[in-house]
Amino acid sequence: MVSENPFGEFRRECEGALGYALEKVLPEIRVAALPLSKPPNIEFGQLASSLCFELAKKLNQKPQALAEQLVKAIDKVDFSLIAKVSSVGGYVNFHVDFAKFSALTLASIRQLGYGYGFLKTAKPLKVIIEHTSVNPLHPIHIGQARNPMLGDALARILQSRGHAVSKHYYIDDVGRQSSVIAYGYVKLGKPQPDEKADHFVGKIYTVTSCIVEINRLKKALVMAKAVGDMDEVARVNKELDDWVSIAAELKEKFPSIFDKLLAKISEDENPEEEINKLNRAYEKGEPAAKALIREVSELCLEGFRETQKRVEVFYDSWDWESDFVWSSQVSEVLQRLKASPFVFSEGGVLEFDAEKTARELQLKAKLGLSEAHEISPLTLVRADGTTLYTTRDVAYTLWKFSRSEKVINVIGMEQSLAQLQLKLLLYALGYGQYAENFVHFAYNLVTLPGYKMSSRRGRYITFDEVLDEAVERAYEEVSKRSPSLTEAEKRKIASFVGVGAVRYALVDVDASKPVVFTWDRVLNFETNSAPYVQYTHARACSILRKAEKQPETPAFELLSERLERELVLALAGFPEIFVEAADYLKPNLIADYVNALADKFNTFYNALPVLKAEPLGLSDARVVLTDAIHIVLHNALDLIGVVAPEKM
């Protein structure tokens, strides 16, 4: 017999038994659901119900007395996996028949192999996951790296759940910043990158924007002095000081680029205006501007792709924001918005009344907002007729829904308001269905302990640096532990161990929690890390290699040690954990699960022999158990994009 969900099998039987007993003992009672949960201790069975506590109050009886009646009413003959039912302190405890359950679980895992655990949804959907979407201005930094790690894990999980997942990267190339970098790039004479392209672009961007900013502030200072606005003078001065110190920093770090850019930019009467001009030309889609900004953006994206390849994150579609502006899609959205009762014009500026939308369409409770929550209005169109980011995002979102049924945006929680406004815009346009299938997967910030990361100021630790460091550390470890390996083998192992460690560290914490970046967190190679799980997997594989022959006569009933039973239970529970991770979008559950399983296996490994166990039937059963462990570790690691190696 084979089951896709062994523990679910047992759960169904327990539900059946409990329902049956309730019907028999208290036919007049109706309960909404039969509560069943895992007891804190294996001694109390494998599933337990606290039903009697609820009933006790209603019926004015003692929970224990009720529990005893229910237990008595259950006829075990009708069930196959339930070995014993008992009542302890008012609980009804179900004990699994381990001989049968181990056989079922282990046979199922062997049979299903690398497909085990991935229960398919009853309602497969076309899902678009947008993630990463770092602006092509500078390298991806560690604060942003949490995004692709979460996004990619989600994509893998939902795909395994049976959804048709498409991974999208939104390239935000419409906006002043893109013109800033393009402007600097031209001033330098469109140089060939002499390093990784995104790092190169990042330098130019930071230096250019710094010089332009100082230039602007100096002019503002003259103006303020002329009008005699002393408060303004003080404010501008302070900001100027700040930027001047950044300039000093940058000049020191990148002297040649800095000097060259300073000289070239100084030739321009008004760099600010040059940049704005380029920006306007780009939005209009003028060929020269188009060619230039796309060229610089592509350069940066080329660097991103290199990094993404290292961590094995790939996209199905790269969507340019500018394409939506140049096509009629944004203006069409605008036309429809203007007709909405929730959009009004004020002095030539188009505004969206998000609060009114939520109130009149009675959405607050539905969206989990308190009635007191006042939602800020949103500007859709500037006085000069140009659109804003969220306005363009509406067109993009509609486009996404034209090719999918569900949209998941992996975007930092600091954008919660904008994402809420976007959802309300969908409602306002009459796309209630879309709005309900629009998910903002918000994650909390990654911060550095010392200072605030700022990409504008060039203050960040890049994702590449973190990966380099992790792989370097892994290389030292491998060299120390396995000196006999060839150089190529060491490099290969170091790569998947280092990358795995980083991926795991960024997925392991609940997405809603803030993370303070420390090297210790990411370079952890011990318990509760990818390397630990990878090592455990390699250990299991090593036993299987040494077993040589197939286990022909496994006697599963001999797996009677507590450790063995806990392992079987953990393995049998993987499908349910997977479903929870998929349906509630919680990739960290997978990391927690895989670590706990590795933990249990290592304890088992140290306590009990596998190959030398007596009799043969036990040894064979333990080999099958080890095989099942290796399969489930592999399957779970795969969901978070971590390689499960046979050797390391």
Output the smallest distance, CB 590 to RNA, in A: 11
Tell which one of 28, 41, 123, 487 touches RNA (CB under 7 A).
41
- Measured CA to CA in angstroms, residue 65 lies from 25, 37, 44, 61, 344 at distances of 12, 20, 18, 7, 67
Omega cis (within 30) before 615 = yes
Q: How far apart are CA 130 and CA 400, in angstroms?
A: 10
For the record, the structure tokens of 632 come out as 């489930």
Which parts of 313-342 interact with RNA (CB under 7 A)? 321
Q: How many residues bind RNA (CB under 7 A)?
A: 99
Which parts of 415-454 interact with RNA (CB under 7 A)? 415-418, 444-445, 447, 452
Which parts of 48-87 interact with RNA (CB under 7 A)? 48, 50, 53-54, 56-57
Output the smallest distance, CB 528 to RNA, in A: 4
Q: Which is nearer to RNA, 29 or 230 (CB)?
A: 29
Quick check: 51 and 22 in contact, CB under 8 A? yes
Q: Positive or negative CA dihedral for 532, 536, 539, 545? A: negative
Q: How far apart are CA 257 and CA 250, in angstroms?
A: 9
Quick check: 491 and 474 in contact, CB under 8 A? no
Question: Which of these, 567, 551, 571, lies nearest to 559 by C-alpha position?
Answer: 567
For the record, the structure tokens of 203 come out as 């330098």
**39: contact with RNA by CB under 7 A:** yes
Q: Which is nearer to RNA, 257 or 541 (CB)?
A: 541
Q: Which is nearer to RNA, 62 or 190 (CB)?
A: 62
Can you state the angle between helices 389-401 and 416-428, rounded to 10 degrees?
A: 60
Which parts of 127-146 interact with RNA (CB under 7 A)? 135
Quick check: 305 and 197 in contact, CB under 8 A? no
Output the smallest distance, CB 199 to RNA, in A: 20
**230: contact with RNA by CB under 7 A:** no
**176: contact with RNA by CB under 7 A:** yes
186: exposed, middle or buried (C-beta count within 10 Å: 0-12, 13-18, 19+)? Answer: middle
Q: Which is nearer to RNA, 80 or 528 (CB)?
A: 528
Type of residue found at 110 = R
Q: Count other C-beta atoms under 10 Å from residue 571's C-beta.
A: 27
Helix (H) or strand (E) holding 82: strand 82-88
DSSP string over 214-249: HHHHHHHHHHHHHHT-HHHHHHHHHHHHHHHHHHHH
For strands 47-49 and 91-96, give the pairing: antiparallel
Q: Count other C-beta atoms under 10 Å from residue 518's C-beta.
A: 12
Quick check: 198 and 139 in contact, CB under 8 A? yes
Output the smallest distance, CB 242 to RNA, in A: 15
Q: Which is nearer to RNA, 308 or 455 (CB)?
A: 455
Q: Which is nearer to RNA, 99 or 613 (CB)?
A: 613
Q: Which is nearer to RNA, 311 or 511 (CB)?
A: 511
For the record, the structure tokens of 405 come out as 């049924």
Output the smallest distance, CB 324 to RNA, in A: 12
Residues 6+ apart with CB under 8 A from 641: 149, 152, 153, 156, 311, 312, 313, 503
Q: How far apart are CA 317 and CA 337, in angstroms?
A: 27
Quick check: 98 and 568 in contact, CB under 8 A? yes
Output the smallest distance, CB 184 to RNA, in A: 17
Distance between terminal CA atoms of the chain? Answer: 35
Q: Which is nearer to RNA, 202 or 262 (CB)?
A: 202
Output the smallest distance, CB 445 to RNA, in A: 5
Stretch that binds RNA, among 7-15, 310-318, 397-405, 584-592 (CB under 7 A): 584-592
**22: contact with RNA by CB under 7 A:** no
Can you state the angle between helices 616-639 and 142-160, rounded to 10 degrees?
A: 120
Output the smallest distance, CB 605 to RNA, in A: 5
Which parts of 554-583 interact with RNA (CB under 7 A)? 580
Q: How far apart are CA 307 and CA 467, in angstroms?
A: 9
Output the smallest distance, CB 613 to RNA, in A: 8
Quick check: 635 and 114 in contact, CB under 8 A? yes
Stretch that binds RNA, among 9-17, 107-115, 169-177, 222-230 (CB under 7 A): 169-177
**Per-residue binder mask for RNA (CB under 7 A), 477-516, x = binder:** xx--xx----------x---x----------xxx-xxxxx
Q: Which is nearer to RNA, 255 or 609 (CB)?
A: 609
Output the smallest distance, CB 518 to RNA, in A: 8
Stretch that binds RNA, among 242-250, 462-470, 534-542, 631-639 (CB under 7 A): 534-542
For the record, the structure tokens of 309 come out as 């390849």
Quick check: 8 and 117 in contact, CB under 8 A? no
Tell which one of 40, 228, 450, 483 touches RNA (CB under 7 A).
40
Q: Which is nearer to RNA, 261 or 358 (CB)?
A: 358
Q: How far apart are CA 186 and CA 190, in angstroms?
A: 5
Output the smallest distance, CB 343 to RNA, in A: 14
Quick check: 351 and 425 in contact, CB under 8 A? no
Stretch that binds RNA, among 69-77, 143-151, 409-417, 461-469 (CB under 7 A): 409-417
Q: Which is nearer to RNA, 338 or 647 (CB)?
A: 647
Q: Which is nearer to RNA, 86 or 188 (CB)?
A: 86
**589: contact with RNA by CB under 7 A:** yes
Stretch that binds RNA, among 35-43, 99-107, 192-200, 394-402 (CB under 7 A): 35-43
Output the smallest distance, CB 624 to RNA, in A: 13
Which parts of 357-396 interact with RNA (CB under 7 A)? 369-370, 372-374, 376, 379, 382-384, 388-390
Q: Which is nearer to RNA, 190 or 481 (CB)?
A: 481
**Per-residue binder mask for RNA (CB under 7 A), 248-287, x = binder:** ----------------------------------------
**35: contact with RNA by CB under 7 A:** yes
Q: Which is nearer to RNA, 239 or 254 (CB)?
A: 239
Output the smallest distance, CB 280 to RNA, in A: 11
**345: contact with RNA by CB under 7 A:** no
Q: Which is nearer to RNA, 140 or 262 (CB)?
A: 140
Q: How far apart are CA 561 and CA 567, in angstroms?
A: 10
SS3 618: helix
Output the smallest distance, CB 637 to RNA, in A: 14
